[in-house]
Amino acid sequence: MKTQIISLESHDDLISVRDRLKWVKTPRVLLVWPKYERVNLRVLDLKVLQRHSDSLGMQLGLVTRRVQVRRDAETLGIPVFDTALAAQKSDWLGRPAREHRIPKPPRRDLRILRASIRQEEPAWRSSWIVRFAGFSMGILAVFSLAGAFLPRATLVLYPEERTQSVTVPVLAEESTPSVTVAGNIPAHRIETIVEVEESQPRNP
């Protein structure tokens, strides 16, 4: 049976190997691991490559001497060989590849089915008046709840009345410019001339 051989390199990963599998036209494909380089393919990547090969209608095989890769391949049912020549001469006992599946065309009546299943919304729900009223009621409800949980308190103070008297000596000086706490007040000198006249009537 014809077998396509793909030699892997250290920079190969899941995406690059999948792209190379798309060009394979044989019923079997063989991935050859390099002897002295490491390929970054995990057991999950091998599972993806196996399913991708099945979808393309071909069987996947490996050529490697790495113990961990051989264990992962045997766990997944992927045939493993020591050399590419041995793989071409022997029968592959792994899971045979499925026939190439042609995807079914999408159904064109999906919109009709969705319209038949979907329930029509009442006309009053789409009215902007109803929506605005509902939105306003929701805002008022939120503010009402917030006002109910806000802390409030009323404090009434009754001051005590006391009569106090203080005696402050006052000193008026012309040199004081303004009233001070110590009792000094400004003074101004005012001079006034007073004239007095007296008269006495004569006795007859």
Can you give the pLDDT of all 204 residues of the chain as single tens digits?
A: 788 888 898 888 989 888 988 888 888 888 999 888 888 888 888 999 999 888 888 889 888 888 888 898 888 889 888 888 888 888 776 555 444 445 556 555 666 666 666 666 666 666 778 788 888 888 888 888 877 777 777 888 888 888 888 777 888 887 888 888 777 888 888 888 888 777 777 665
The total number of structural domains that make up the chain: 1
* Residue 27 in domain: yes
* Residue 75 in domain: yes
Range of the domain at 24: 3-89
Structure tokens at 43: 């057991």
Q: Check: CB of residue 50 under 8 Å from CB of residue 78.
A: yes
* Residue 142 in domain: no
Alpha-carbon torsion 69, 73, 78, 81, what sign? positive
pTM passes above 0.75: no
* Residue 114 in domain: no
What's the residue count for the chain? 204
User: Which residue in 28, 35, 25 sits closest to 88, CA to CA?
Assistant: 28
Q: How many CB atoms lie within 10 A of CB 62?
A: 25
**Residue whose tokens read 């920079």:** 11
Pairing state between β 59-63 and 28-32: parallel
* Residue 172 in domain: no
Measured CA to CA, the distance from residue 177 to residue 169 in angstroms comes to 18
Which domain CATH number covers 15?
A: 3.30.750.24
Per-residue confidence (pLDDT) for residue 203, from 0 to 100: 65
Per-residue confidence (pLDDT) for residue 93, from 0 to 100: 67
Contacts of 76 (CB under 8 A, 6+ apart): 43, 46, 47, 50
* Residue 24 in domain: yes
* Residue 103 in domain: no
